[in-house]
Amino acid sequence: MIDQLYKSVEQNGVVCLGLDTKLDYLPAHLLQKYTTVEEQLFQFNRAIIEATKDVVACYKVQIAYYEAYGLAGLRAYQRTLQYLKRVQAITIADIKRGDIADTAAQYAKAHFSGDFESDFVTLNPYMGYDTLGPFLPYLKQGNKGVFVLVRTSNEGAKDIQDQDVANKKLYQVVGEGLEHLGTSYLGQCGYSAIGAVIGCTNTEEAVKIRKMLDKTFFLIPGYGTQGGTAHDVASLLKNGNGGVVNASRSILLHYQKFSDGANRFDELAYLAATAMRSEIEGAIHDDAI
């Protein structure tokens, strides 16, 4: 699966489109056309996917946005994942699970098979590396992957991740442990199926992190609204690959910047995704000169 993601970046660029969908994001005509929450959320997602599937590397579906609407939301979540699979798009279920033993095994089963099956999931390792154990057999089969929180983009990350442990920052200890563990799950592309979530808002750390986690593929949040720039992103990539850059509202809600945007929300999402991809490619080119 990591090889498929690597190839998708080669073909479509580094944008990971976050389907963090809320009813307030939807144009009024969609809310009027579809009468159930399930249908409203799904039909918005379907239109966005159809418009952008050739210009993004993958889609990240944040489960909390769907859980908030109860069973109707979870049905929309399920249908969104199934639709993405139907169009052969790569999916990241943003679930940030972090438990152990049988509980972790059930999370792995729930999100790597059945109704909520996805290609990748996000995990929180700060309870210990045994939180990853039940997911690893799926990786060994070669068709799944994980992105593990290492250095996140939020302001509060420093409260825990920056704490000193054995003359290193805690996130460095975690990252080095994952890099070592990942050597057993390397794809042909040279990257491991155990990826890392690395925010692009930590400019001064980017080059050091990329060098430290040489075989680790990155899921990169923090671009745009949180202050990360295209050049920050470029520092976390290698030859324009080795990571995907998440964006959600800046693409989903791009239509709100236009007086007639509601009727072409999907077309404008495509334009926003394309502009983001071009901006990052430009920064990669500039940094290579």
CA 221 to chain centre: 8
Exactly one of 85, 96, 158, 169 is catalytic; which is it?
A: 96
- Give catalytic status of residue 208 as yes or no: no
**Would you call 93 exposed, middle or buried from its count of C-beta atoms within 10 A (0-12, 13-18, 19+)?**
buried
- Classified as helix, coil or strand, 83 is helix
DSSP 217-272: -EEE--BSTTSB-HHHHHHT-BTTBSEEEEE-HHHHTGGGGSTTGGGGHHHHHHHH
In the block, tokens 């920050």 appear at 232
The rounded distance, in Å, linking the Cα atoms of 44 and 47 is 5
Instruction: List the structure tokens of 216.
Output: 């680790």
Q: Per the structure block, which two tokens stand in for 77? A: 């979540």
Q: Are strands 194-198 and 218-220 parallel, antiparallel or unpaired?
A: parallel
Distance of alpha carbon 201 from the chain centroid: 16
Closest CA to 122 of 90, 89, 148, 152: 148
**Counting Cβ atoms within 10 Å, is residue 214 exposed (0-12), middle (13-18) or buried (19+)?**
exposed
C-beta pairs of 100-107 under 8 Å, 24+ apart in sequence: 100/127, 100/128, 100/130, 100/131, 100/133, 101/130, 101/134, 104/130, 104/131, 104/133, 104/134, 104/135, 105/134, 107/134
Active site amino acids: 96
